[in-house]
Amino acid sequence: MTDCLFCKIGRKEIPSKLVHEDPDIFAFEDIQPQAPVHILLCPRKHLISLTDASAEDAAMLGKLQLIAAQIAKERKLTDGYRTVFNNGGRAGQSVFHLHLHLLGGRDFRWPPG
């Protein structure tokens, strides 16, 4: 999508600290980290949120989680980490290109705020 912040980051039209790239997925450091490790993983395909996803996106959604786990291992988050999709404004979504947050390096509370 032309006018989407994360599509532009994926095309390198806007700079970011990329930590992973493959034909389906790119991942980069969050600009306002909420934990010592805070990485966003996005599909190259523009989807607004999980609500916009369908059966054909199943492999990509699984791959997002598996790459998050791989990055968590690389960052030595052996004590735990959290992966989160915020879906819709009420859940705190502010950028409307589907993305998985990978957060780690501190304790997290449950239930989340």
Q: Please report, as ranges, the residues that interact with ligand AMP according to CB under 6 A.
A: 5, 16, 28, 30-32, 40, 86, 92-95
Is 38 a known active-site residue?
Answer: no
Nearest-approach distance from CB 5 to ligand AMP, in angstroms: 6
Which strands make up the sheet holding 18-21, listed edge to edge? 18-21, 25-29, 37-43, 100-104, 81-84
Please state, in angstroms and as integers, the Cα–Cα distance from residue 94 to each residue in 4, 19, 49, 60, 98, following that order. Answer: 12, 22, 11, 22, 10
Nearest-approach distance from CB 110 to ligand AMP, in angstroms: 18
Residues marked as catalytic = 99
Task: Please give the residue ranges that form the binding site for Zn ion (CB under 5 A).
Answer: 1, 4, 6-7, 46, 97
